[in-house]
Structure 1
Amino acid sequence: MESARTLSLPAEWRDFFALTKPRVMTLVIFTGLCGLLAAPGSIHPVLAFTAILCIAVGAGGAAALNQWWEADIDAGMKRTAQRPLPAGRMERESARDFGFALSGGSVLVMGLANGWLPAAILAFSIFYYAWIYTVWLKPRTPQNIVIGGGAGAFPPLIGWVAVTGHITLMPVLLFLIIFFWTPPHFWALALFVQTDYAKVGIPMMPVVAGEASTRRQILIYAALLLPLALVPWMIGGTGVVYGASALLLGIVFLALSTKVGLRRSVPGDGMLPEKRLFAFSILYLFALFAVLVADRFATLQGWQ
């Protein structure tokens, strides 16, 4: 009876869904949708839905391939030990095939429905995360998050190009904002889970370069992110709603990063500033892209 319950369809469905990293996918879907909604021009609602669905499915496929490749590493980390593969709830081949199916299907549908340029960008983003980051960068260099940050920066670019059919400066700026946001966001997390990475031999920045260097780099990237997030407003790509909001959000992000960057942790202190920065960094990105869409709507309505 216990075996039958373990192999029941609902449990299998939940495990396959878990392979897509749904919490991460939420941010991917949101930034992709915001890129689509903020883009000049119009798109049929069905095609818009298809584009966002393909972005989500492609991201899920890349996440499944990531977990297929890193199953042994995930088994050695407390934070990831209960994922479907290390927990023994699924065969590795199933995760691999699932990942390839989602990845290939999303690119094909995107190409047929929205054009081959956004499909090509989607395909490259999957390859970037599943191979360049997961297989090549992550186990070899402490710069894995810096370079690999590009993988999560593609969704707004894809959404924008799905509407306009071409790449311009604005979607590239949206890409760069996420690219520069990723290191302070992820390193804040890495600071309070660094023992996990050290245990499995992954050269994350706190493990290889030490806490002091990681903290300085968090502060540097946060300082660069503040003016970068204002560039869309400076070049006239957005209005004052976005500009004022980006400035306020950037100041708070920089203030929290400064607390992290200039402190030295003490064993047992709980790393509260690091956890606050990590939590706010997620809110920052959601808020910044939400304001981008609100600014677009305000402009269309003639409110600014």
Structure 2
Amino acid sequence: MTKEIEISYNENGTIDNEKTGTLIADLKSLFKAPVLIANALPVFVGFWLALHFTGGSLLASSKLFWLTIIGSTVLMGGALVLNNWYDVDIDTVMKRTQKRPTVTGNMSLKTVLGIGISMSAIGMVMLMFTTMEAAIYAFVGWFTYVIMYTMWTKRKYTLNTVIGSVSGAVTPMIGWAAIAPSYHLVPIMLFIILFIWQMPHTFAIAMRKYNEYKAANVAMLPVVRGFKMTKRQMFVYIACLLPLPFYLGSLGMVFIVLATLLNIGFLAMSIQGFFTKDDDKWAFAMFLYSVNYIAILFMLMIAVTLPIFQ
């Protein structure tokens, strides 16, 4: 039996901090806070780089900036909530998701569905006040994640990772398109980098949570094809990242050198996987590297385009 969310009060009329803390934890879990933040960064980078290459100013574009960032974050939050709503049966089986409010019953599925739909609609409307191109990219990301990935491929096909990667890869396109048309080489390369990076990143997670995905009957590559095939694919995808910094020469030599070093380190770690005797430990190291890799890479794009370096 599920129950609706509420703020609880003690007998003296003060807020019950324990229950309120539980509510906050539930909301963080429902919105997948780390994932939401990680997806907001590429939107900002896309917006920032579009301003840089068009000679725009963040201060002069502040209204458009907030519409883009808030609108895309709300829309992505709605998509993540809908994912929680639809995947409640899987989340009940998997240990890492058993504390989600959809599983514990702290939020009713009806409430979660309402939140997901409302946030998706609000975010979409906000983005339509930026540019139609940005709104289209945002819808593509939402549709790919909610419909194509969550409701169709996740449980049936190992290609679910490829489909899911599209939704994350369009995020910098949203930010860029809010400022200028996205047929520029830079946003296209950002899309490609994010798309390719998500593959080894997701495979590392799937390897670590192999038993959980298997129990939940989710068609992740390690479950269906095994670890050896997964490691080979991780190596191939990471190798595909190697030439990409050279297409971003407009960001300067410092960026090219540092991004290439990050790629070499990533590739070296993937090669290590062919010789490791502890797959779980290696997969965790790959996960940590992948998270730091993408954060450093995108923050580096901001750093090298700051006025003090121009």
Q: What is the TM-score of this pair, normalised by structure 2?
A: 0.88
Residues of 1 paired with 2:236 and 2:178: CA distance?
Answer: 33
Residue in 2 that maps onto 1:61: 78
| 1:247-267 Cα shifts (integer Å, max 9, x gaps) | 11111111111112x1354xx
Task: Give the aligned residue type for 2:43.
Answer: G
In the alignment, which residue of structure 1 is the partner of 2:26?
Answer: 15
Residues 57 and 103 in structure 1, CA contact (< 8 A), matched pair in contact too:
yes
Is 1:119 matched up with 2:135? Answer: yes
Query: Residue in 1 aligned with 2:299?
Result: 290
How many Å apart are 1:130 and its aligned residue? 0.6
Shift in CA distance, 240/248, structure 1 to aligned 2, threshold 3 Å: same
Say if 2:124 is the partner of 1:107. Answer: yes
Q: What is the count of residue pairs matched by the alignment? A: 291
Kindly provide the amino acid, as one letter, of the partner of residue 278 in structure 1. Answer: F
1:6 Cα deviation after fit: 7.5
Q: Deviations over 1:44-65 (max 9, x none)?
A: 1122122111111111110001
Of 35, 46, 49, 1:38 maps to 49
1:128-277 correspondence runs (5 A): 128-233=144-249, 237-260=250-273, 262-263=274-275, 265=277, 269=278, 271-277=280-286
Distance 2:158 2:276 in 1: 20
Name the % identity.
31
Contact 1:62 1:103 in 2 (8 A): yes
| 1:96-139 C-alpha deviation (Å, 9 max, x unpaired) | 11111111111111112x12110121112111101111111111
Quick one: which of 89, 98, 117 aligns to 2:106?
Answer: 89
SS in 2 for 1:148: helix
Contact 2:4 2:106 in 1 (8 A): no
Q: Give the Cα–Cα distance (whole angstroms) in 1 for the partners of residues 39 and 246 of structure 2.
A: 22
For structure 2, the 5+ residue unaligned runs are: 9-19
Aligned to 2:17: none
Check the 8 A contact 1:230/1:246 in 2, yes or no.
Answer: no
What secondary structure, in the 3-state scheme, does the structure 2 residue paired with 1:280 have? helix
On the 8 A contact 2:186/2:248 being kept in 1, the answer is yes
Q: State how far apart, in whole Å, the 2-side matches of 1:5 and 1:185 are.
A: 35
In structure 1, list runs of 5 or more residues that go unmatched.
none
For residues 6 and 115 of structure 2, the distance between their equivalents in structure 1, rounded to whole angstroms, comes to: 18
1:216-244 C-alpha deviation (Å, 9 max, x unpaired): 111111111121243222xxx32112111
Q: Which moved more, 1:127-136 or 1:270-279?
A: 270-279
CA distance in 1, matches of 2:34, 2:181: 29
Report the alpha carbon displacement of residue 147 of structure 1 after superposing the two structures with TM: 2.6
For residues 206 and 302 of structure 1, the distance between their equivalents in structure 2, rounded to whole angstroms, comes to: 44
Cα separation, 1, equivalents of 2:163 and 2:126: 28
* Equivalent position of 1:77 in the other structure: 94
Structure 1 vs Structure 2 CA RMSD: 2.1
- Deviation by residue 1:175-208 (Cα, 9 ceiling, x = unmatched): 1101000111111111111100000110100110
Q: Does 1:26 align with 2:26?
A: no
